[in-house]
């Protein structure tokens, strides 16, 4: 049985059709990332699965439960890190872990959770005195204190500095390796690429692609060829000059010229042949495997209103 089953899920907020017929499964032990720009519907989907919002229509099953019933056995087996936390500011970190932990039948010790989340030094400080990133770690700590079989993480690392992010990644990887099923949302592509066994790309309330990160990268993108625009060529002439040589859509941003191509060898041969003939140096010429970011831009570029790299909540 799948850990999560979603069939033709719809959610309307008044006139806003925020989720438009989404279907996917998450297997037990899998780390699944819902990736998409702000407003795509990620939080709505996740909070329906947590039992925090009601679906307009569709079928959802989470660990075999109907989350809208909010049964004790269901709550006992899931951990939740909401996009925006609501932890009481006046308690210390240790106190909130004790309070929240006591709600679960099988809980991790406070010391273990403090250590897993790198909060040992902050244990006796009040939550209200912590930085945004530290408070997010408290959210993460509360998500895992009940030893969940299934953990929901809605943008878990937004606001983290690089070392805190690395720590959170290690923790999520460790949980995944230990058999915990994880449903994660993120707008950080490197996070999805690093952590997820599979990625579902959500845009405008619909799932527009779903696969392993490497299959998404292999299947959709090809190879990225890029170089600096030579001084002798005006930016306005870049597409006309390089389009025929590259034989794929050319992107120009500032002085960077870039294209995603299928057959990079012949493209590089044409480009370098042309450059040598013209006695032009193609500075910074590089040929790299496309990243999940390239896939994501291809998928969401032309129809997404949100800026996927933009921080914040929608």
Ligand X SMILES: Nc1ncnc2c1ncn2[C@@H]1O[C@H](COP(=O)(O)OP(=O)(O)O)[C@@H](O)[C@H]1O
16 binds, among Mg ion, ligand X, none (CB under 5 to 8 A by kind): ligand X
CA–CA distance, 112 with 115 (Å, rounded to integer): 5
| Closest residue by Cα to residue 293 from 112, 37, 22, 32 | 37
44 binds, among Mg ion, ligand X, none (CB under 5 to 8 A by kind): ligand X
Dihedral pair phi/psi, residue 158, rounded to 5° = -60, 130
Pick the closer one to ligand X by CB: 39 or 101. 39
Dihedral pair phi/psi, residue 74, rounded to 5° = -70, -55
**DSSP at 236:** G
Q: Which residues are at the interface with ligand X (CB under 6 A)? A: 13, 16, 18, 36, 38-44, 314
Write down the least CB distance from residue 131 to ligand X, Å: 23
Write down the least CB distance from residue 213 to ligand X, Å: 19
280 binds, among Mg ion, ligand X, none (CB under 5 to 8 A by kind): none
Pick the closer one to Mg ion by CB: 42 or 135. 42
CA–CA distance, 156 with 173 (Å, rounded to integer): 13
CA–CA distance, 103 with 79 (Å, rounded to integer): 12
Write down the least CB distance from residue 286 to ligand X, Å: 33
**DSSP at 306:** S
Pairing of the two strands 181-186 and 198-203: unpaired
Write down the least CB distance from residue 214 to Mg ion, Å: 26
Which residues, 6+ apart, have CB-to-CB distance to 255 below 8 Å? 228, 229, 235
Q: Which residues are at the interface with Mg ion (CB under 5 A)? A: 42-43, 83
Pick the closer one to Mg ion by CB: 18 or 144. 18
Q: Write the burial class of residue 262 (CB in 10 Å: 0-12 exposed, 13-18 middle, 19+ buried).
A: exposed
Pick the closer one to ligand X by CB: 42 or 75. 42
Write down the least CB distance from residue 12 to Mg ion, Å: 17
Write down the least CB distance from residue 20 to ligand X, Å: 11
CA–CA distance, 301 with 307 (Å, rounded to integer): 9
Pick the closer one to Mg ion by CB: 40 or 209. 40
Confirm if 202 and 230 have CB atoms less than 8 A apart: no
Pick the closer one to ligand X by CB: 43 or 147. 43
134 binds, among ligand X, Mg ion, none (CB under 5 to 8 A by kind): none
Nearest residue to Mg ion by CB is 43
């Amino acid at each position: 049985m799948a850990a999560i089953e979603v069939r033709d899920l719809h959610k309307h907020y008044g006139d806003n059709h925020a989720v438009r017929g989404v279907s996917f499964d998450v297997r037990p032990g899998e780390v699944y990332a819902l990736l998409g720009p702000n407003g795509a519907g990620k939080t709505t989907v996740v909070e329906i699965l947590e039992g925090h919002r009601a679906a307009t229509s569709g079928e959802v099953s989470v660990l075999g439960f109907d989350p809208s019933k909010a049964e004790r056995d269901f709550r006992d087996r899931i951990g939740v890190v909401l996009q925006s936390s609501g932890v009481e500011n006046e308690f210390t970190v240790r106190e909130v872990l004790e309070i929240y932990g006591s709600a679960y039948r099988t809980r991790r010790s406070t010391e273990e959770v403090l250590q897993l989340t790198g909060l040992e030094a902050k244990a006796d400080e009040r939550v209200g005195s912590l930085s945004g990133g530290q408070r997010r770690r408290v959210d993460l700590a509360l998500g895992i204190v009940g030893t969940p079989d299934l953990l929901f993480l809605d943008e878990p690392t937004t606001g983290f500095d690089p070392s805190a992010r690395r720590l959170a990644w290690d923790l999520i990887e460790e949980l995944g390796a230990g058999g915990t099923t994880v449903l994660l949302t993120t707008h950080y592509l490197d996070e999805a690429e690093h952590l997820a066994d599979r990625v579902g790309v959500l845009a405008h309330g619909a799932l527009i692609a779903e696969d392993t990160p490497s299959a998404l990268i292999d299947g959709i993108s090809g190879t990225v060829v890029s170089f600096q625009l030579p001084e002798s060529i005006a930016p306005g002439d870049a597409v006309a000059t390089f389009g025929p040589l590259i034989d794929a859509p050319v992107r120009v941003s500032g002085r960077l010229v870039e294209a995603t191509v299928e057959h990079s060898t012949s493209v590089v041969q044409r480009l370098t042949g042309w450059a040598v003939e013209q006695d032009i140096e193609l500075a910074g010429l590089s040929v790299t495997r496309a990243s999940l970011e390239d896939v994501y831009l291809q998928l969401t570029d032309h129809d997404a209103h949100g800026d996927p790299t933009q921080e914040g909540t929608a």
